[in-house]
Structure 1
Amino acid sequence: MYHQNFNPTGSLGLSALLAALPLLTVLVLLGVFKWKAHWAGLSGLVVGLLIAMLPFAYSMPIGQALDSALFGAARAVLLILWITFNAIWIYKMTERSGHFAVLRRAFAGISDDKRISAIVIAFSFGALLEALAGGGSPIAICAVMLIAIGFEPIRAAVLALIANTAPVAFGGMGNPITILGSVTGLPPEPFGAMAGRQVAFIALIIPFVLVFVADGRRGLRQAWPAALVAGVSFGATQILFSQFNYKLTDIAAALVSAVVLVAFGKVWKPVETVGAVPTIAGGSVDDPVFVRTHGRPGGDSTRDKVVAFLPYVYVIVLFSLAQIPAIKAVLDKALVKPVWPGLHLVNPAGKPVVVTYDLPWASHPGTLLFVAGLLTALTLWTNPVKAYAATIRQFGWAIVTILAVFALAFVMQYSGQIQTLGLLLAGAGAFFAFLSPIVGWFGVAITGTDAGANALMAKLQTTAAGQLNIPPELFGAANSSGGVMGKMISPQNLAIGTAAVGLVGEEGTLFRRVIGWSAVLLLVLCVLVFLQSTPVLGWLVP
């Protein structure tokens, strides 16, 4: 039996320094020494295991420390790989059949300007994917689509990572908010309402960042009206829907922003068109893949366009059906929750920590994507086995990165390292309102998911709120809202991004391209949450 101790050295500052070493190892090796992500992740895991096991640190038994790592890797298979593999598998089948080229031309046809197309694809369409699936799939799919409309691979990955921020707090049909409620024992609805009043301000900024990354200062000067329309429509919809149904927030925001931006494009054009992707006219040939790749002389047929969009229609329909109460109840009955063997933990209050491997195999987003993939294979008449094999080969070392980082996350959680870092920040008193989003940011940077960060840190956040006589929904929501900025620097999401664009091993380069934006957006949110804890913006708290 391992008794968790969140301050093993007797000095919270020293304990927190030890607890931070695994995180610093990963970030420094990635950003400073430019190591490949899988080596940085494995090195961080080794350091995390040492800190967990050493007698002058957390004194966790070797067997339980290694078992924690194994549990984390197993969770990565379910929470990341099973979702992302199936999302990329669907894309691979559309690519092999030639229908992805049709889809690309359809999105390119939204605007002659690729800066505006980038907002529609990475921001609006990416938010829809995040709302339905999450798990890195928006990063992977949108990055590939951005390459198709003319962006170089590394810039496409940067755009996809930055765009995958504002919708994350409500991703997976509001799963991070649901977890906030389950972990804290409080109703999730107030957390959702509060999160909507935080991330909406980030959503207002993101389209401006996207046009800057896409085309520098010229992009801001010429495309700012489109960025404003996209940000305002998305953020306003988030605020509205999060007040009464947080699970539908991202779906509504994604669709409204896309429709509004497309309509705006009918009456407004930038003074200069940048990077238009022409439709290449093709000859009369028999190969349907060649025709779809190079374009028909008269343009893509209505049937081709419908078939190209069908895989994503399948995704939307399946995920929507899974939320119907009667169907959801049936799917939820398939939940399997075996107790993970070998982990015997007791928290500092003396209560046992039961570790279960929750396996909602029927309702899991990855399973729904897999079903959508089977329907896609039947629709496109392509070989699903070869496409799946190509997907796994594409990820390569990224799989190791994802497994290693998730293993580290659970070693840190079960040994007590994560809680130590949270306690140090909670000791900041009223200033904790400024630091609260940073707790979520660290959680997502390590776990790669907002839901995972909420599971780790939500109780700490609401406890701190109680000590400071602040509504718990403010800090709970701040954990989820702050976490979204950590997603773009999370090693496993960096690995997903580089794998999607064919640059496995360039995670350090990608990290350096996004870390600044992550820090700036986090600072904005920290200031916002601090003001919401004061009379200045306290009226925004439900």
Structure 2
Amino acid sequence: MWLSAIIAIVPIIVFLLCLMAFKLSGLVAGAIATVVQIIVAAWPFGMPFASIAGAGLAGVLTALWPIAYIIVMAVWLYKLAVASGRFDVIRASISGISPDQRIQVLLISFCFGAFLEGAAGFGVPIAICAALLVQLGFAPIKAAMLCLVANVAAGAYGAIGIPVVVGAQVGEVPLADLTADMVLVLQALTLFVPFLLVMILDGWRGVRETWPILLATSVAYSAAQAAILIFLGPELADIVPGLLGMVVIFVVGRIWQPKRVYREDGGEAPAPVRQDFGDVVVAWSPFYILTGVIFVWSIPAFKALFAQDGALAGLVAAVPIPGITGVVVPAGATDPVATTWAFTPVNATGTAILLAVLITFWTTPQLRAPDLWRQLRVTVLDLWRPIVLIALVLMIANIANFSGGSASIANALTAVGLVFPLLAPVIGWFGVFVTGSVVNNNTLFAHLQTVTAQNIGVDPTLLVAANTAGGTVAKVVSPQSIAIAAGAVGLTGREGEILRASIVYSLGMLAFVCVWVFVLSLVIPGVA
């Protein structure tokens, strides 16, 4: 079992070494790791080449739809805001709240990023917020890394809480119990994230100089998120706290500012510009439109239209994958997997963002049709390399999953017995590092966490929460997230630099979650 796990993890180690030690580009590292993964799946794990090809095809299709579709649409919306000149107003409005970049990073990467994560997810907050920070004068690598770290506070509840909902379903635990345990497992870390962001920028001096607004933002966000999780569920656990955090920063910024204004380059802060309130509202309108449309797409009544027996079910296509669908039989199962690729042209999140793009275009007099298509072309040219990297990563993930490699790693960790709660978040971290998605991570490993918990007498809900939390801190270094961030800030090909800047924070937060979950497992009653 341990030998299988060691062999299964070789492609991931190769990928990390290529990025961090040999400093290769993401595309080259991904291509090398894909070849290694194919060899590992075909030889030690005995996966037929037809199934390897099918798993790889499934990864490419998923990378294109829905992931690439969502990312391209979101960045296209951002570029239209820049092309229209509205972003100059947005930038000035942010500087008007505070010229201090420590406060700006709280507003954009932490609060606005959480808002976008809750509304859309799938890399949208990382892409938009990292680009916003660069426009505000942040160094590209620092901007990307800050947005990745900030996403820890929101990543577990992205896209209207889907990761936690899926975790409860696959792990077969009550959703209300899981959301309550998420508060226990993750809320202390969420409370700390704003302080960590300022420390990354300006060290302990920055924390001392900005503690009033830091404390107010952190407490308001974390308390609101905890209350929503306990009393309402995961659906609004990012949107409402993100909005509340922005309001708190605005209010506190009106009555208090740090004595020293921090600027990354050490230069002078731009002079404040007086703006008409109506102009500011109009400038931010693309993001209001985005939120409104995605909210419609997320309500149960709209989703029900595309369910199996819904009125528009015919617009959803479940495409079987040759070599996988009806062929691969998971270990311990008797029936082959029914995995298909879902093509959803209308109810996809990307389509909601496309509608927001078109509404923004139609309501922006400064834009003409040539501007619309020019910005789409620029967006595709900027993002095709990150999209190819995401496709390579998902090829690796799917081949590892269907060959049994991922299960081998997880099963080896479960063999440690009562110490397993200490390592449970590591499985979640691994799941998101490979797949780039907390949803996919819970789909893969939530049931394993539940079964292991029952076998060792630990609360299953706690370990499903640990799986989700471990996956959340892995988003900081997930190759998929880093590829999106690199594309957004113009660092395509330099993904290794972002990874080296971010990995210490991801591993540090993972260590905290591991120890904390182990402590909780000792005090929370387990199963009989």
Taking the aligned partners of 1:166 and 1:159, their CA distance within structure 2 comes to 12
Taking the aligned partners of 1:384 and 1:466, their CA distance within structure 2 comes to 55
Identify which of 16, 23, 29 aligns with 2:18: 29
1:237-278 per-residue CA deviation (whole Å, 9 max, x = no partner) reads 221111222111111111122222322223332231223742
How far apart are residue 539 of structure 1 and its match? 8.1
Taking the aligned partners of 1:73 and 1:108, their CA distance within structure 2 comes to 41
Tell me what 1:326 maps to.
Answer: 301
Taking the aligned partners of 1:182 and 1:246, their CA distance within structure 2 comes to 13
Structure 2 matches for 1:133-532, cutoff 5 A? Answer: 133-243=120-230, 244-275=232-263, 277-279=269-271, 299-332=274-307, 333=310, 334=313, 335-343=316-324, 344-349=327-332, 350-380=334-364, 381-382=367-368, 383-532=371-520
Deviates further, 25-34 or 117-126: 25-34
Q: CA contact under 8 A between 2:473 and 2:509: conserved in structure 1?
A: yes
How far apart are residue 405 of structure 1 and its match? 0.1
The one-letter code matched in structure 2 to 1:238 is: Q
What secondary structure, in the 3-state scheme, does the structure 2 residue paired with 1:58 have? Answer: coil
Tell me, which stretches of 5 or more residues in structure 2 are unaligned? Answer: none
Taking the aligned partners of 2:300 and 2:35, their CA distance within structure 1 comes to 44
1:419-468 per-residue CA deviation (whole Å, 9 max, x = no partner) reads 00000111111211111111111111111111111111111111111112
Q: CA contact under 8 A between 2:459 and 2:526: conserved in structure 1?
A: no
**TM-score (norm: length of structure 1):** 0.90
Taking the aligned partners of 1:267 and 1:362, their CA distance within structure 2 comes to 46
The one-letter code matched in structure 1 to 2:518 is: F
Tell me what 2:99 maps to.
Answer: 112
1:73-102 per-residue CA deviation (whole Å, 9 max, x = no partner) reads 111122421111111010010111111111
How far apart are residue 358 of structure 1 and its match? 2.5
The alignment status of 1:71 with 2:58, answered yes or no, reads yes
Q: CA contact under 8 A between 1:425 and 1:435: conserved in structure 2?
A: yes
The one-letter code matched in structure 2 to 1:339 is: P
Q: CA contact under 8 A between 1:149 and 1:277: conserved in structure 2?
A: no
Taking the aligned partners of 1:408 and 1:79, their CA distance within structure 2 comes to 18
The one-letter code matched in structure 1 to 2:7 is: L
How far apart are residue 191 of structure 1 and its match? 2.0
Q: CA contact under 8 A between 1:105 and 1:279: conserved in structure 2?
A: no
The one-letter code matched in structure 1 to 2:457 is: N
Q: CA contact under 8 A between 2:181 and 2:465: conserved in structure 1?
A: yes
Taking the aligned partners of 2:247 and 2:272, their CA distance within structure 1 comes to 27
Taking the aligned partners of 2:213 and 2:272, their CA distance within structure 1 comes to 27
The alignment status of 1:41 with 2:30, answered yes or no, reads yes
What secondary structure, in the 3-state scheme, does the structure 2 residue paired with 1:249 have? Answer: coil
Taking the aligned partners of 1:260 and 1:484, their CA distance within structure 2 comes to 25
What secondary structure, in the 3-state scheme, does the structure 1 residue paired with 2:152 have? Answer: coil
How far apart are residue 529 of structure 1 and its match? 0.9
Taking the aligned partners of 1:161 and 1:390, their CA distance within structure 2 comes to 24
Taking the aligned partners of 1:83 and 1:493, their CA distance within structure 2 comes to 13
Taking the aligned partners of 2:66 and 2:302, their CA distance within structure 1 comes to 22
Q: CA contact under 8 A between 1:41 and 1:491: conserved in structure 2?
A: no
Taking the aligned partners of 2:258 and 2:236, their CA distance within structure 1 comes to 32
Q: Structure 1 residues 277 and 149 mapped into 2: Cα distance closer, same or farther (>3 Å)?
A: farther
Deviates further, 443-452 or 72-81: 72-81
Q: Structure 1 residues 540 and 271 mapped into 2: Cα distance closer, same or farther (>3 Å)?
A: farther
Deviates further, 185-194 or 201-210: 185-194
Deviates further, 326-335 or 176-185: 326-335
What secondary structure, in the 3-state scheme, does the structure 2 residue paired with 1:246 have? Answer: coil
Q: CA contact under 8 A between 1:307 and 1:379: conserved in structure 2?
A: no
Taking the aligned partners of 2:66 and 2:465, their CA distance within structure 1 comes to 22
Taking the aligned partners of 2:248 and 2:506, their CA distance within structure 1 comes to 27
Taking the aligned partners of 1:200 and 1:365, their CA distance within structure 2 comes to 28
The one-letter code matched in structure 2 to 1:127 is: A
How far apart are residue 345 of structure 1 and its match? 0.8
Identify which of 113, 134, 137 aligns with 1:126: 113
The one-letter code matched in structure 1 to 2:331 is: P
Runs of at least 4 residues off by over 4 Å? none
Deviates further, 407-416 or 349-358: 349-358
Taking the aligned partners of 2:107 and 2:282, their CA distance within structure 1 comes to 20
The one-letter code matched in structure 2 to 1:355 is: T
Taking the aligned partners of 1:311 and 1:277, their CA distance within structure 2 comes to 27
The one-letter code matched in structure 2 to 1:527 is: V
The one-letter code matched in structure 1 to 2:40 is: I
Identify which of 49, 66, 84 aligns with 1:62: 49
The one-letter code matched in structure 2 to 1:443 is: G
Taking the aligned partners of 2:376 and 2:306, their CA distance within structure 1 comes to 25
Taking the aligned partners of 1:156 and 1:371, their CA distance within structure 2 comes to 28
How far apart are residue 279 of structure 1 and its match? 4.8
Q: CA contact under 8 A between 1:193 and 1:246: conserved in structure 2?
A: no
Task: State the Cα RMSD in Å.
Answer: 1.9
How far apart are residue 390 of structure 1 and its match? 0.7
Q: CA contact under 8 A between 1:150 and 1:277: conserved in structure 2?
A: no
What secondary structure, in the 3-state scheme, does the structure 2 residue paired with 1:118 have? Answer: helix
Taking the aligned partners of 2:146 and 2:298, their CA distance within structure 1 comes to 30
What secondary structure, in the 3-state scheme, does the structure 2 residue paired with 1:322 have? Answer: helix
Q: Structure 1 residues 169 and 14 mapped into 2: Cα distance closer, same or farther (>3 Å)?
A: same
Q: CA contact under 8 A between 1:83 and 1:135: conserved in structure 2?
A: yes
The one-letter code matched in structure 1 to 2:244 is: V
Q: Structure 1 residues 95 and 279 mapped into 2: Cα distance closer, same or farther (>3 Å)?
A: farther
How far apart are residue 229 of structure 1 and its match? 2.1
What secondary structure, in the 3-state scheme, does the structure 2 residue paired with 1:217 have? Answer: helix
Q: Structure 1 residues 389 and 279 mapped into 2: Cα distance closer, same or farther (>3 Å)?
A: farther
Taking the aligned partners of 2:411 and 2:300, their CA distance within structure 1 comes to 39
Taking the aligned partners of 2:487 and 2:7, their CA distance within structure 1 comes to 32
What secondary structure, in the 3-state scheme, does the structure 2 residue paired with 1:533 have? Answer: helix
The one-letter code matched in structure 1 to 2:246 is: A
Deviates further, 91-100 or 144-153: 144-153
Taking the aligned partners of 2:101 and 2:182, their CA distance within structure 1 comes to 31
How far apart are residue 165 of structure 1 and its match? 1.2
